[in-house]
Amino acid sequence: METDETPRVLPFQLQFDKPVASQIKIAEWNPEKDLLAMVTEDSKILLHRFNWQRLWTIFPGRCITSLCWRPDGKAIAVGLEDGTISLHDVENGKLLRSLKSHTVAVVSLNWEEDGQVIKDDSVNNSTYEDRTSRFFPPAPRVPRMPGLAPGDTGFMDDSDDSFRELSNSSYQRFNILCSGDKDGSICFSIFGIFPIGKINIHNLSIPTPYATEPATCRLSHASISKIALSKDLCHLIVMCSGELNHDEVESAERQLGVHGCHCLLLDTSIFWKRKNELHQVAQQASNIEDLIEVIRSSLSVMSKQWSDATHTFREKFDSLSSLIIDHGLDSSPQEEFLSLLGGARTSPPVHQFLVNSLGESGVKRVSKVVCGAGKELQHVVLDHLQPAAEIIGFRMGELRGPSRWRTRFQGLGLDETLINNATEKSGILLVQVERFMRVLSSVVQQFSNFFNWLLKCIKLLNQEPSDQLLPYNSELVVIFLKFLYDQDPVKPFLELSEVDIEPDMETLQRVKELVHFGGFSDCDFLRRTLAEEFKQMESSFKEAFLMPFTTISRKMLCKDVLPLFALPSSSASVSVSVPISVTYYKDASTSVSSYQTHEHGFIDYISFQIPGDSSSNIANCIGISRRFMHSLSNSSIEESASLEAVLLSVPDGYHCVDLSLYKEGQIVLLLNETTSASECSGESCMMIVQADDLPFVSIPRSGFINTWNLDQLKDSVMHLRLENEKLRNIPHSVVAPLAVSGKNEEQTSAHVGFGSFH
């Protein structure tokens, strides 16, 4: 009981109790700012300040299944039901990037940065200087289609630098975005944008390190609940439910009550050991992918503009063929124009076409469309496509050196042969761009000369003065009528075509001779179009960057498994939804410097509610374990009993709605009063428990996968009592989620948000 001599300390001060239009299903505090992101049941994302001022609302158009912030709080990752992960700017909610890493719903997201550089940035060995800005201006943006308003293309506005900052990761601490889907796949992306690995928990060979004889097991019918990467990036804890089976057990013996909630420990130390190398590869590769998108969009815009222009030309001039047929002539439009150019008498169909159908205004209009499109194409090439291709070539050159440093980069899958091939393809693309520009310039010049001649002819036919008109070249008119009037040499360069371009044999022979002097080994590039060359370059990049992805994926192995509690077999194929929280606290027992081993700077805490239908005979309890990732650090089984756990019994008359681990080893429990009323009209409370004060018990590990470790604690359960803990009463029932924030470890206050209903 409380007395006047022992006043109770209220852990939180109530600031707001605001209703919302739709129930909140996910909530996350920004790690650096007083901002709360919430996802409603109708899949809208709301961003509020601490004073409840709403900054923006976005609606992705698909069901949102997970949410997390980038460690610096400048971007937020959103997992969708179709497997897409979208990254949004914190300032305005605009889409920065969309990744299709999964094929099913993304149920858990975790974005963690290298925690070893927090205290002293001077020892941050993961920094990597990108030299591109020394030699090139800022990278070009995606071109807009003329006539579209900003944002219609789905890309960022030119005035917004958020997209550029997302790719320019030189200033960022090394960080990894982890995402898990409902089918058991876990994907890893450096800086949230460069995919670097993928595993599936169903395919993991899970060791049982405490067995008397070496043995492995596997998960089946598994569903991921939570993933959490350690602060040192060396371990990934995966909370999942599923059926755990020994590999050597016959299939008929696999239904032996081993279905339940499990905790997997994955070795991701490759991220910490090779963060410098991975930073460099990710920096170059992610920027190259952005530039590839610039080239792809440039080709699309150019193809559309030129196609529209030539359609306008054909639409106007095709009527001449009909007039010739109507007058009973068997000549072609080119022959009629050549006859007119040679000084012969103008035929009736040509006279009618030039004076009545086309006219001076028609020529000027078509000339403006065609020549204007040609100039627009030149601008797109000079302002977007060519700069992007040049920077790609430079960035690939930056990767050639590392690919030859085999002791450091070969273990990451950076293959010298593939990088050299991709570098050559980027160089060939630049040659194709120059080749295209020469063809385009020649075509535009000849179109312009042809239109100047037509204007001169129309003036003479109308007996009007033509002294003010631009001059024309008769020889170019002849060339145009023979080779360009009914042909389009520009279009094939911008589209994929099965018909090869046939270069002259002399040029082809010279290219082959240049191979001996360091020229391109691929001599057939003269037969390909610009679009085909881009396709080959993109394919070579995918092949080169797939090798690190595959190599890193193979290096991430499962080190340990911790069976937590059993579940009824009826839920074998159903995802179990219970309150779960995983976090890492600094180990206060040891002083860890920047130069000490990274593995002992943090302690993992795993907190979870044991469901009432669990077969563990432990009802209405909260389980907390710690030091799971350190339980393999010692050499002998006797010494390795560093895994500790405790069971907390929820006060009578209450049940746990949600829980969260908080700063300085604190645990926040959100409790609802148990009531028989269907409308849940009871009260609720928030309780804070200090983890260091809990009576943790060492858990001896077993080599048997169907040994539920927490069953050993049911005789030493700690009973929580309302009068003994820090408590904040809430005058109505609440629902999940609970969101807590402690961005500053020196603060004593906390920001808490939770769903509620009255």
pLDDT, one tens digit per residue, over 59-101 is 988 999 999 999 999 999 999 999 999 999 999 999 988 999 8
Q: How far apart, in Å, are the Cα atoms of 674 and each of 613, 649, 653?
A: 17, 14, 5
- Domain 15-100 architecture: Beta Barrel (2.40)
Q: Are the CB atoms for 641 and 701 separated by under 8 Å?
A: yes
Confirm if 309 and 369 have CB atoms less than 8 A apart. yes
Adjacent-strand bridge partners of 228: 237
Distance CA 268, CA 174 (A): 14
Query: Is the per-residue pLDDT at 259 higher than 50?
Result: yes
Q: What is the pLDDT of residue 609?
A: 86
pLDDT at 604: 87
The pLDDT score that the predictor gives to residue 590 is: 53
Arithmetic mean of pLDDT, 203-222 = 76
Q: How many CA atoms lie within 13 A of 625 on its CB side?
A: 29
Section 647-655 average pLDDT: 88
- Mapped onto helix, strand or coil, the DSSP state of residue 488 is coil
pLDDT, average across residues 446-460: 93
Q: Does the pLDDT at position 750 exceed 80?
A: no
Q: Quick one: pLDDT at residue 344?
A: 78
More confident residue, 693 or 171: 693
pLDDT at res. 124: 44
pLDDT at res. 596: 40
DSSP letters for 111-168: EEE-GGGSS-GGG-TT----THHHHS-SPPPPPPPTTPPTTTTSS--TT--HHHHHH-
Q: Are 37 and 76 in contact (CB under 8 A)?
A: yes
Q: Look at residue 167 in the predicted model and tell me its pLDDT.
A: 58
pLDDT exceeds cutoff 50 at 3: no
Determine whether 470 is exposed, middle or buried from the number of CB atoms within 10 Å of its CB (0-12, 13-18, 19+): exposed
Residue 162 φ then ψ, to 5°: -65, -40
Tens digit of each residue's pLDDT (9 = 90 or more) over 119-141: 444 444 445 678 898 999 999 99
Q: Is 58 helix (H, G, I), strand (E, B) or coil?
A: strand
Whether 44 and 54 have beta carbons less than 8 Å apart is answered as: no
Give the mean pLDDT of the chain.
Answer: 81
Q: Categorize the per-residue pLDDT at 643 as very low, low, confident or very high, splitting at 50, 70 and 90.
A: confident
pLDDT for position 553? 94
* Neighbour tally for 553: CB within 10 Å: 18
Helices (H), 556-645: none
The model's pLDDT over 347-376, given as tens digits with 9 standing for 90+, comes to 899 999 999 999 999 999 999 999 999 999
Per-residue model confidence (pLDDT) at position 652: 85
User: Closest Cα partner for 757 from 731, 737, 732, 738?
Assistant: 732
Say if residue 514's pLDDT is above 70.
Answer: no
Q: Which of 121-130, 178-187, 693-702 has the lowest mean pLDDT?
A: 121-130
Task: Supply 697's token pair.
Answer: 């018990």
Domain range summary for the chain, segments of one domain joined by +: 15-100, 300-403+415-495+502-540, 566-589+599-631+640-757
Average pLDDT over residues 523-550: 89
Q: How confident is the model at residue 505 (pLDDT cuts 50, 70, 90)?
A: low
d(CA 148, CA 151): 8
Share of the chain above pLDDT 90, in %: 39
Q: Which two tokens stand for residue 374?
A: 């040609």
Q: Please choose, from the candidates 540, 528, 542, 541, the residue with its C-alpha nearest in 3D space to the C-alpha of residue 495.
A: 528
Amino acid at 549: F
pLDDT tops 50 at residue 641: no
CA angle centred on 399, ends 396 and 404, rounded to 5°: 130
